Structure 1
Amino acid sequence: MQLTHQDFDGLRVVRVDETRIDAACAIQFKDTMRALSDSGPARIILDMGRVEFLDSSGLGAVVAALKAIRHGQSLDLAALHPTVMRVFHLTRMDTVFTIHPDVTTAIEGIANAS
């Protein structure tokens, strides 16, 4: 599972550099996200623009990443592919996560909220 990140002022953007988050990589995704959030700033955006497929294990891994963040941190999602967005909608996880149409909008939204 390849994740890359870039830090800005008080913000970390984590990009999923894979087309799938599924059972084969869910544990590695959770572990990597935990490490990136433990060492990260208060606000984290997960850029899922390259992810075209998300199964129940992948969804569980994203939820686990949310549960693993420290008190005072936030985790927003950005750039969900329509099929991935459908999974979030069908499971009502779109009511749990703040989901932005793209990373730029997410960064601007967070900057305006500060």
Structure 2
Amino acid sequence: MKFDCRETSDLLFVKVLAERIDAAAALKFKDSLREFTGQAKASHVVLDLSEVGFIDSSGLGAVVAVMKLMGSTKRLDLAGLTPTVEKVFRLTRMDSIFTIHAQAEDVNKLYKAG
């Protein structure tokens, strides 16, 4: 699984460069995100899922696990959910747990405005 990471002073953007986050990829996904967030100085992480067309319960569990691993010192937001992925988050009510942005760039605009 590949990722594109970029960090600004306050934000870490992690774009998932994969079509699926499923049982086969969930462990690698979680381990990679743990490494990225652990090394980051930024306290706000934005996970860009705009290239992910499918996520199963293992993938959803991995996203939740990453949020828990980050603890109370860092914040995880999601961005760019495709319709199928957004539906999974909505049906499982995880959309009430995470702040979800239409696109990753929206977070940058919010930070600059605030």
* TM > 0.5 fold call: yes
With over 3 angstroms needed to count, the CA separation of the structure-2 counterparts of 1:69 and 1:109, relative to structure 1, is same
Task: Give the 3-state SS of the residue equivalent to 2:7 in structure 1.
Answer: strand
Task: Give the 3-state SS of the residue equivalent to 2:47 in structure 1.
Answer: strand
Instruction: Using structure 1 for the length normalisation, give the TM-score.
Output: 0.94
Identity %: 42
User: In 1, distance between residues paired with 2:90 and 2:46?
Assistant: 19
Counterpart amino acid of residue 36 in structure 1: F
Q: Give aligned pairs, total.
A: 113
Query: Which residue is equivalent to 2:70?
Result: 69
User: In 2, distance between residues paired with 1:111 and 1:63?
Assistant: 27
Q: Residue 38 of structure 1 contacts residue 70 of structure 1 at CA under 8 Å; is this kept in 2?
A: no
Give the RMSD, CA atoms, in angstroms: 1.1
Moved over 3 A (4+): 110-113
Task: Give the 3-state SS of the residue equivalent to 2:110 in structure 1.
Answer: helix
Task: Give the 3-state SS of the residue equivalent to 1:5 in structure 2.
Answer: strand
Counterpart amino acid of residue 42 in structure 1: S
Task: Give the 3-state SS of the residue equivalent to 2:23 in structure 1.
Answer: coil
With over 3 angstroms needed to count, the CA separation of the structure-2 counterparts of 1:97 and 1:51, relative to structure 1, is same
Q: Which moved more, 1:57-66 or 1:2-11?
A: 2-11
Are 1:17 and 2:17 matched, yes or no?
Answer: yes
> In the TM superposition, what whole-angstrom CA distance separates every residue of 1:17-74 from its partner, at most 9, and x where no partner exists?
0010000000000000001111111011001000000000000011111111143210
